[in-house]
Amino acid sequence: MTGFLAGLAIRDTAGFVAGVLFLLVGLAAIGVSGGYPVGTLLHMGPGYFPVVLGALLVIIGVASMVRAVAVTTVTPDTAAVRIALQPLLVVGAAVLVFAGGIDRIGLIPSVFATALLACMAGPKPKLLEGGLIAAALSAMAAGIFFYGLKLPFTLF
Amino acid sequence: MDLFAHLATGFGVALTPDNFLYCLLGATLGTLVGVLPGIGPLTTIAMLLPLTFKMTPVASLIMLSGIYYGAHHAGSTTAIMLNTPGDPSSLVICLDGHPMARQGRAGPALCIAAFGSFFAGSFGVLLMALFSPPLAGVALRFAAPEYACLVLVALIATVVLARGRFLLNVGMSVLGLLLGTVGTDIESGTMRFTFGSPNLADGINFIIIAVGVFAFAEVISNLGRDRIGRTPAAPLRSLWPRRSDLAAAWKPILRGTVLGSALGLLPGTGPMVSSFAAYSLERQLAKDRSRFGNGAIEGVAGPEAANNAAAITHFIPMLTLGIPAGAAMALMLGAMLVQGIAPGPRMISEHPDVFWGLLASMWLGNLMLLVLNLPLVGIWIRLLTIPYRILVPAILVFCCIGVYSVNNSSFDVVLAAGFGVLGYAFSMLRCQPMPLIVGFILGPVLEQSLRRALLLSRGDLATFVMRPISLTLLIFAAGLILYAALSWYRDGRRQALPGVR
Amino acid sequence: MLARRGLAGFAIAAAIGLRGVPDARADTYPSKPVRLLVAFPPGGPSDVLARIVGQQLNAELGQSVIVDNRPGAGGNVAAEIAVKQAPDGYALLLANNSILAANAFLYKRLSFDPLTDFAPVTLIGRQPNILVVSPSLGVGSVAQLIALAKARPGQLNFASSGNGTAAHLAGELFRLRAGIDIVHVAYPGVAPALTDLISDQVQMMFATSVAAIPFMKGGTLRGLAVTTAQRSSAMPDLPTMMEAGLPDFEATTWHGLVAPARTPAPIVTQLNTATIDALHQPDVARRLTGLGVDVVGSTPEEFATYIKSESIKWGDVIKRAGVHIG
């Protein structure tokens, strides 16, 4: 039993995960677009194309997973993968802060908050430097986009 | 010679002090605004359109087209320096332009891009002067079956020729095609994958995906690498291209120019296809394919030339048929109508001063861009000496504003954040984002053309093989698949026999 | 009370030619920039029209008018934003026939009511459509086209710039009124549709005059009739659809300015006056004509009546043709 499992070990983790991703998206696509009129090859409905694509993704996903298991050589850099969690979260948060703020609190506060947060994404964040950068970027954004290009923003 | 008389008229119009100044102003404004990530020619022209109402028709067109090709070219600067495409056509430039910048070779990359786009622009203008009316007819030979087959060729080429793993590339393409189906189906009005949100009813804008998957994902992985201990950016080497760079680049520029000029005549394919086709071609012709994606100068020269040649030849169907290729050209069309000039078959004979003046100004504008951009190279590469921790907030802020201004929608910014996370996941999984983007852009063209071709033929598949152009394209597609299968088989045998490598 | 004071103030202001007597709210209007929501992306006819009118309104109102594009869902995104704005005259919507007369019937769910959620300001103008055919079809009149379609049922196609667009609905109206069997073919915009019409892939289309006339002059397309009630000054030889034998056939793309409902009447009146003044500027009129817009400039009441009648007409067409989005 253990020998059997060892024989089935996932040797290419990245390829396997990508396969799972394709499989799930493919299944979801088939599930959702099955609700649209599908039609036939010669008279395609709005659901035809997405259903075909979903089925393709399922096939590719399964094939990738099989390949990740069946492959005999371990890709050397697979082990070195480490998720950069802090940058991921901070960059995501900075962008979301902009999205949440721009229609409510205006251009300058949104840019300031986003820039300040973005300054905290690096390894050794410095608050004062971040504040200065954020202030400078706010002024630049207002100058270029509001006064220069006259884009429809509110400043505050 | 008729042509010389026409060109003399044109330069007479373009070289009046006023028009010359508007050309310079347009090219400069286009360059300055075009380098902002996410803000491409379309937004720039739309914002500055009211400024041109008070000008003469010729002057306003000269300035707007200056903005158009200025912003077009500037997009590649952002792609090279920040790995963020300003518009679809400069996306491909990221692939090798940005690695060059990371190796301290931003100067040569920017210079070659500037030379390439000047050469391509000049060629496009010449083509326009010589053959506008006959070339316009090319657009009319491409109907739904031809577009469907053309897109098929492009998609197959992407999957076969892209680097990385074949299976994952196919998966990413299909994922891109699927993303392209989001929104209202134009034929039936069915809303697909919108989950009841009107924000998704018109589909996802390209800028959102490009900024997310390229710019945001790049920032996250760079910061992540910093934590683990990134090697500092390579020191800046020479500003100017070496003799070997020029030797490597001139042929790609030539090929890209010809390819881009040809594809620019087809309004239905959109702006990305020409630069992408040129990239695939260069990669295919290269002796050492592994250099591509790691800073091959051919990967900058070819696509940039193709992109700018197409940007000029897009004017041919617009001016002579009134058929715009893409939204920016549609806006130019609107600008002409506002000035009381109706593009169409009779435009050249009815408004010779406008046509030839615009043509002459386009060549002058391209010359100005070259003169303007070479000194700017020195300034742009200073960007790389800015510590990355300062660059990060600037990139994020400008990208957010760029994404927001596409539709003035904060929903789009949230979506871009999501694509950033997805893009980072792709880079972790070593999935190439390029096939995804290509699939996304070409997917709607493929689906709509396929369905329309079958609707018009009332469900007869023969429509694809009875038409000479689509048949040729189909044979070409089959050839690509055969080629891929053969090389796969060959590689497989080589791997199966240890010691052969 | 407030409204009456506002009205009186407005009358005085108008009489002495002043804009902005302090005290009453409506009298100080506008005291800050006015946002003009546009339901379509930069570059489209609506956007260009908004920028032309907006620039002149700027001069008329003495405040900058900021064009704010909120494209999406056939104009519904912008309309939803517009109805949520404070009814103070600082947020306006450049609406068209889709938003005000068709979308309520095309979409299953609409979070606004086009007839009650807006205060109409003025009908800016109409873009006539022309029924164009490819010359190789060999028909020279609407009657001949109908005869041909009856002889070859289900074989002729009409192009449109997408499901539910004005071009599509006009085609459906034609199909219903003429009693013919023609097939709808949707394109992602007017330009690709016209390309296929010129190259003979499809046989007919209702195209805006501005898009169609250059091709008609060049001989690559043949115009059969205009869809307005009167003949067009740009193409005086072209009969109207009504003259061509289809009674009551009118199908135009129109653009009008609306404010959120409950915007004070004096502000609506002021905006109406300012917009009509702007439309009467020779420069503005010339540019709009270039865009193919027949300038109207109606009163708010006339515009409200027009919206209602258009809504009834297109609601009927959409229901009978079975067109829907969503």
Query: Do C271 and C212 have their domain in common?
Result: no
CB C70 within 8 A of CB C40: no
Query: Do C111 and C92 have their domain in common?
Result: yes
Per-residue tokens: A5: 């499992």
Q: Which residues of C touch B343 (CB under 8 A)?
A: 214
Eight-state DSSP code of residue A124 = S
CA distance C158 to C180: 12
Q: What is the mean pLDDT of chain C?
A: 88
Query: Do C106 and C158 have their domain in common?
Result: no
CA distance B49 to B332: 9
Domain at C39, CATH number: 3.40.190.150
The identity of residue B85, as a single letter, is P
On whether residue C159 sits in a domain, the answer given is yes
Q: Which residues of A touch B462 (CB under 8 A)?
A: none
Burial class (CB in 10 A: 0-12, 13-18, 19+), A99: buried
Say whether residue B220 is in contact with chain A using an 8 A CB cutoff: yes
On whether residue C13 sits in a domain, the answer given is no
On whether residue C14 sits in a domain, the answer given is no
On whether residue B464 sits in a domain, the answer given is yes
Count of CB contacts below 8 A, A vs C? 6
Nearest to A43 among B397, B405, B459 (CB): B459
**Those residues with Cβ within 8 angstroms of residue A54's Cβ, 6 or more apart along the chain or in another chain:** A25, A26, A27, A28, A29, A30, A33, B178
Query: Which of the other chains make 3 or more beta carbon contacts under 8 angstroms with chain B?
Result: A, C
Task: For strands C129-133 and C294-295, give the pairing.
Answer: unpaired
State yes or no: cis peptide before C30, omega within 30 of 0.
yes
Query: Do C205 and C67 have their domain in common?
Result: no
Query: Do C123 and C165 have their domain in common?
Result: no
CB B317 within 8 A of CB B262: no
CB A131 within 8 A of CB B15: no
CA distance B335 to C42: 12
Task: For strands C183-186 and C157-160, give the pairing.
Answer: parallel
Q: What is residue C2's predicted lDDT score, i.e. its pLDDT?
A: 40
Q: Do B401 and A111 touch (CB under 8 A)?
A: yes
* Torsion-angle region of C256 (φ positive above 0: left; ψ -120 to 50: alpha; else: beta): beta
Q: What is residue C15's predicted lDDT score, i.e. its pLDDT?
A: 41
Say whether residue C66 is in contact with chain A using an 8 A CB cutoff: yes
Q: Find the helix packing angle between B298-313 and B57-82, rounded to 10°.
A: 160
The identity of residue C35, as a single letter, is R
Q: What is residue C11's predicted lDDT score, i.e. its pLDDT?
A: 42
- Give how many domains chain B has, as a whole number: 1
Q: Which of C40, C48, C109, C205 to mutate to test the interface with B (most CBs of B within 10 A)?
A: C48
User: What is the Cβ-side half-sphere exposure of residue B249, based on CA atoms within 13 angstroms?
Assistant: 30
In the listed set C210, C226, C242, which residue is the last one of a domain according to the structure? Answer: C226
Tell me the pLDDT tens digit for each residue of B314-347.
888 888 877 777 777 878 887 888 787 877 777 8
On whether residue B500 sits in a domain, the answer given is no
User: What angle (nearest 5°) sits at the alpha carbon of residue C35, between those of residues C278 and A108?
Assistant: 140
The low-confidence residues of chain C, meaning pLDDT below 70, are 1-27
Query: Do C123 and C207 have their domain in common?
Result: no
Q: What is residue C110's predicted lDDT score, i.e. its pLDDT?
A: 87
Q: Which residues of C touch B268 (CB under 8 A)?
A: 192, 195
Q: Which residues of C touch A152 (CB under 8 A)?
A: 35, 66-69
| Residue-range definition of the domain harbouring residue B236 | 2-494
Q: Which residue has the tokens 């409902």?
A: C261
Q: Which residue has the tokens 């405040």?
A: C63
Say whether residue C68 is in contact with chain A using an 8 A CB cutoff: yes
Report DSSP letters for B347-386, one per residue.
HHHH-HHHHHHHHHHHHHHHHHHHHHHHHHHHHHHHGGGS
Consecutive 10-residue averages of pLDDT for chain A (156 residues): 54 88 96 91 92 96 89 56 83 96 94 93 83 95 87 86
On whether residue B378 sits in a domain, the answer given is yes
Taking alpha carbons only, the member of B102, B149, B79 closest to residue B388 is: B102
Tell which B residues from 10 to 49 touch C, by Cβ distance under 8 Å: 42-43, 45-47, 49
User: What is the Cβ-side half-sphere exposure of residue C48, based on CA atoms within 13 angstroms?
Assistant: 26
- Give how many domains chain C has, as a whole number: 2
CA distance C197 to C206: 11
* Torsion-angle region of C262 (φ positive above 0: left; ψ -120 to 50: alpha; else: beta): left
The identity of residue B43, as a single letter, is T
Say whether residue C74 is in contact with chain B using an 8 A CB cutoff: yes
| Residue-range definition of the domain harbouring residue C162 | 129-226
ipTM of the complex: 0.91
On whether residue B477 sits in a domain, the answer given is yes
Query: Do C171 and C98 have their domain in common?
Result: no
Domain at C207, CATH number: 3.40.190.10
Number of CB atoms found within 10 A of residue B497's CB: 9
On whether residue B163 sits in a domain, the answer given is yes
Q: What is residue A79's predicted lDDT score, i.e. its pLDDT?
A: 44
Task: For strands C65-69 and C34-38, give the pairing.
Answer: parallel
CB B311 within 8 A of CB B125: no
pLDDT of chain B along its 501 residues, tens only? 578 888 899 999 999 999 999 999 999 988 888 888 767 777 778 777 777 777 888 998 999 999 888 888 888 888 888 887 767 778 888 889 988 888 888 889 999 999 999 999 999 999 998 888 787 777 788 889 998 998 888 888 777 766 667 888 899 999 999 999 999 998 888 999 998 888 898 899 888 998 899 889 888 988 877 544 344 455 555 677 888 888 888 999 999 999 999 888 887 766 678 888 888 888 878 888 778 888 899 999 999 999 999 989 988 888 887 777 777 787 888 788 878 787 777 788 888 889 999 999 999 999 999 998 888 888 887 777 778 788 889 889 989 998 998 888 999 999 999 999 999 999 888 888 888 988 898 889 899 999 999 999 998 999 999 999 999 999 999 998 888 788 777 766 655 444 333
Q: What is residue B247's predicted lDDT score, i.e. its pLDDT?
A: 87
Q: Which residue has the tokens 């009546």?
A: C305
Rg (CA), chain C: 21
